[in-house]
Structure 1
Amino acid sequence: MVTKSKEVPTATLLISCPDQHGLVARVVNFIDANGGGIVHAAQHTDVDSSLFLQRVQFELDSFKLKREEIAPAFDKIAEEMNGSYTLHFSDRPKMAIWVSKQDHCLLDLLWRHRSGELPGEVVAIVSNHTTLQPIAQQYGITFHHIPITKDTKIQQELKALELMAEAGVELIVLAKYMQILSAENMARFPPTINIHHSFLPAFAGAKPYHRAHERGVKIIGATGHYVTADLDEGPIIEQDVTRISHKDSVSDLVRKGKDMERLVLSRAVRFHLENRVLRYGNRTVVID
């Protein structure tokens, strides 16, 4: 493998196919034959399904194929492997953060973005309230106030999605956006990551900290997952936990939980932006 240079553009292949002999060699030979230098390569085989999953990142500066030629050229190999793949480039993808009134996840993401920790560009903040508009102004990010009611949800979501399309948004992050996205519009959303304040599948839905306190649990956690039409059932990207005790009140759980939410959401977003997440069924493999 070659050493990655920050200035050199790269491409990343995320591949899934039935496990079979010679898969790694086929991919490596394709890249080598076209003059590419491999920056990172890792794979995993799901034993239960015999599914092979691979991430390969390679440099483009000396690659013989133009960007638009890579996918058509790799299609034949994917067909031979009876597999599927996605191709990503190292350009900074555009993302939007959707919020309601809580600011802890938003501020954490914006700080990490400003410090260069998140390899993406925040182009919009969307909210059903105006509470966090001053934060958007402070960071110089476009703020869209789109109020939501039970009767206007579908229409207002479509309005928001139109704005996302106009801005070229490739990822939506629900950073404590306290609204359930409508199933009717789900297919229109780009990849969307949500932070849920429990260690799923435990305490899905509303008020998990209250329910955890009532149950007397000894750990609480947070879950970063992709959003699907099924509430809190999407493929999990990242999770973490922290210990609590009988001395902790609900407010203590909320305070400790917010720390977990910040960390877990930022990791999930970074893994996605770095093209490290392979989805299959309702599961993910995150390749580090």
Structure 2
Amino acid sequence: MTFEASTAWPTASTRIVVLLGWPARHSLSPELHNAAFRADGLDLVYLAVPTPPQAVHDVVAALGAVEAVGANVTVPHKRSVVEACDVLTAEAQLVGAVNTLHWTEDGLIGDNTDARGLGEALTADLSPAPGERWVLFGTGGAARAAAVALGRLAGAVTVVGRRQAAAEEIAELAARTGASDVEVVLTEQGERLSAAVAAARTVLNATPLGMGGEALPAPLMELRPGQVAYDLVYDPAETPFLAAARARGASGHHGLGMLVGQAAVSYERWTGRSAPRATMLAAATAALVARQQPERP
């Protein structure tokens, strides 16, 4: 599965790894994984495959039939692909969602690398202390991974969502994985939400809001100096959430660190090699910077 760097690539023997999402064309995963495959001399190519929800199981079956090595899974498929897997890792079972597929002799293995990637990024970016207060906005697959990461950091977590039952499920997951305290606040509970934001060091957005220029609920946009806005969205690099935080004197971090962290764990599952993280980060950063440049007329 290796090749010389001077060899034409891809070839008829090149095997594929893909990203399944709807949409998928926005992702930086092809840039960072293909840079890593080239750096390690692996005869693999990574492609984005936009996959509508009604087709995801058919696409997964087709990938197995053509001997794909693996896949990443992003919104909105992280929970729906669970039933397509023959084996779920303990991490995937814990998170309740799959973001990494690996075709093996034992069948299709479903894993989740998001919580590990995010925990690594949060530790590097923020050095959080046990008991530190967090506001976690979201109740989907990304929020489940974030709840696990924050629980493992022994954070005190306030989960914010639109629906009580969904938010309680995320809070329970944070508690089960080590959170020092959990509570639930609904987006419609303006005063409670403002109080939770004021008490937190970090507000973490685990929704897709911001990818299309959307703002978060108003209390989440009102951070102050000393607080941190942490957005799992990485493109655009400056979402309205991050821009509002910085305008008010808070600091901000986008989701590129998590992207690289989870990608590295996926890479190691597919290849059995240590991921070239510096290469992956450099490729992702360069691609993101290029995207932020204004288009030439």
The answer to whether the superposition gives a TM-score over 0.5 is no
Higher helix share: 2
Pick the structure with greater CA Rg.
1
TM-score, normalised by the number of residues in structure 1: 0.32
